[in-house]
Amino acid sequence: MKYGRKRVLVTGGAGFLGSHLCERLLDDGCDVLCADNLFTGTKDNIAHLLGNPYFELMRHDVTFPLYVEVDEIYNLACPASPVHYQRDPVQTTKTSVHGAINMLGLAKRVGAKIFQASTSEVYGDPEVHPQTENYRGSVNPIGPRACYDEGKRCAETLFFDYWRQHGLRIKVARIFNTYGPRMHPDDGRVVSNFIVQALEGRPITLYGDGSQTRSFCFVDDLIEGFLRLMATGDDVTGPINIGNPREMTVRELAEMVVAMVGSKSGIVFQPLPADDPLQRRPDITLAKETLGWTPKVTLEEGLERTIAYFRARMQA
Ligand SMILES: NC(=O)c1ccc[n+]([C@@H]2O[C@H](COP(=O)([O-])OP(=O)(O)OC[C@H]3O[C@@H](n4cnc5c(N)ncnc54)[C@H](O)[C@@H]3O)[C@@H](O)[C@H]2O)c1
């Protein structure tokens, strides 16, 4: 490590999760390089960091190689919501697969430790509930979500092959639904969708009958999990689930958001999209045991903070 500060590369650092990670790493005294092609990320997400001399934004597409000197890499670059990743599915797979190859190549060259933002989508529409890390998943390889799900699965394969073949220090996190300030207002994810619809007094859109379940982790809890995983010894590789095990139906969430916003929005039902998982809840036993990590922010508190963010954004 040069100059006493840890040099950390965050790919996808101008996105929702990436911007919170950059902020937290700067608070912890790191020298942060954010590499992002601004496909779904924005300069607004990191505008407040640009004046910090230890923060640097580089417009870069991870499907091309990158040559920088860093000690740690967090590989987050990849559109995360179906509307975004299905817009250019070939580019989504390239981002996951070529992006992983390029970042792993960089980690190998400079001897950096590397973290992969994998996803609960590797479990597909799960037959095992809640999902533990040794469940191998049920993914449709030719469906409209496959560009993302299979791209992320292949990225995990590459991480473990670099670990086995080249002895790379890898950390693979399987992230479950996360929400919080700086989510995209129009990316079709339930939390942001419901909040924006409720704030605008429009009907809340529920897909299917709303009985499908999800569990939601507040972004600050998730980032704490990332840092704890990165700080583990070389024997810890993951994959490790990071998410909030409190499970609820999407309908319950809709009703909660409407009540908290104080909105008069009603509910409209639309057909369930193809391959939409019916239930989703992480088993976080491994994260508890390995990282001493559990989520701390209640859904009520997290929604309060997220609603406040969207309210301020709409009034700006
Ligand atoms: N938010 C969640 O609930 C969730 C759940 C599971 C996994 N993840 C993973 O976490 C990571 C971050 O997700 P997010 O919610 O912040 O999404 P996001 O879309 O806000 O952020 C992704 C970032 O990656 C950038 N990007 C996309 N393609 C790129 C490319 N080719 N080169 C460089 N940058 C590129 C985007 O511009 C954006 O800034 C993603 O890898 C995602 O798959 C997120």
- The total of structural domains in the chain comes to 1
Residue 209: inside a domain: no
- Per-residue pLDDT band at 3 (split at 50, 70, 90): low
Q: pLDDT tens for residues 74-83?
A: 999 999 999 9
Determine, yes or no, domain membership for 308.
no
pLDDT tens-place string over residues 47-75: 999 999 999 999 999 999 999 999 999 99
What's the rounded Cα separation, in Å, for the pair 229 and 284?
13
Residue 312 has pLDDT above 60, yes or no: yes
pLDDT digits (tens, 9 = 90+) for 130-158: 999 999 999 999 999 999 999 999 999 99
Q: 63 CB under 6 A from ligand 1?
A: yes
Residue 274 lies in a domain: no
302 assigned to some structural domain: no
In a domain, 87, yes or no: yes
Instruction: Report pLDDT digits (tens) over 170-196.
Output: 999 999 999 999 999 888 889 999 999
Q: For residues 161 and 166, give the distance between their C-alpha atoms in angstroms, rounded to a whole number.
A: 8
| pTM of full prediction above 0.85 | yes
Q: Tell me the average pLDDT of the chain.
A: 95
Structural domain boundaries, residue 88: 7-179+218-243+279-296
Give residue 264 CA to ligand 1 midpoint distance, Å.
Answer: 33
In a domain, 248, yes or no: no
Question: Binning pLDDT at 50, 70 and 90, where does residue 219 land?
Answer: very high
Q: Which atom of ligand 1 is nearest to the CA of 95?
A: 31
Residue 102 Cβ < 6 Å to ligand 1: no
What's the gap in Å between 118 CA and the centre of ligand 1?
10
What's the pLDDT at 2? 53
Ligand 1 atom with least separation from CA of 177? 3
Q: Determine the 3-state secondary structure of 169 from DSSP.
A: coil
Confirm whether 101 is domain-assigned.
Answer: yes
Active-site choice (123, 148, 162, 179): 148
222-257 burial, b if ≥16 CB within 10 A, otherwise e? bbbbbbbbbebeeebbbbbbbbbbebebbbebbeeb
14 CB under 6 A from ligand 1? yes
Give the pLDDT confidence score for residue 311 in this predicted structure: 96
**Test site for ligand 1: of 9, 20, 21, 40, most ligand atoms within 8 A of the Cβ:** 40
- In this prediction, residue 280 carries a pLDDT of 83
Kindly report the CATH number assigned to the domain that includes residue 57: 3.40.50.720
Task: For residue 148, give the ligand 1 atom closest to its CA.
Answer: 43
Task: Inform me whether the pLDDT recorded for 90 exceeds 90.
Answer: yes
Look up 148 and say whether it is catalytic.
Answer: yes
Residue 255 within a domain: no
The stretch 229-255 carries a mean pLDDT of: 96
